[in-house]
Amino acid sequence: MTVTIWHNPNCATSRKVLGLIRASGIEPKIVDYVKSPPSVAAIKAALKAMGMGPRGLLRRRGTPYDELGLGDETLTDATLIEAMHAHPILIERPVVQSPKGTRLCRPPERVQDLL
């Protein structure tokens, strides 16, 4: 089974999810999305697969969310996705993709349904 994780090694939750994936016997494809930002198309595809709008994937804490004015409810989805691509730290983590689906794995135990 191919499993991909959008991972931030500085995030305890992301590290825990990676550990759970490995404990299940799977070595995932690890995408350090802060160093290698997903494309706009990849972000859109992940959102569609999760049935989520971009606001659901935006991270506020420790990001430029406020300084970029992303709380403005008049901003379009396209604008929010462009901001996530330009500033990948804005993407909440970890996002895990497997043949069983795509999910934002917060809390970490949510990954179990994908393995």
Sequence-ordered list of residues with C-beta below 8 angstroms from that of 13, at least 6 positions apart, any chain: 93, 94, 105, 106, 107, 108
Which of 2, 3, 11, 53 is catalytic? The answer is 11
Helix or strand holding residue 86 (H, E): helix 77-86
Whether 105 is catalytic is no
Catalytic annotation, residues? 11
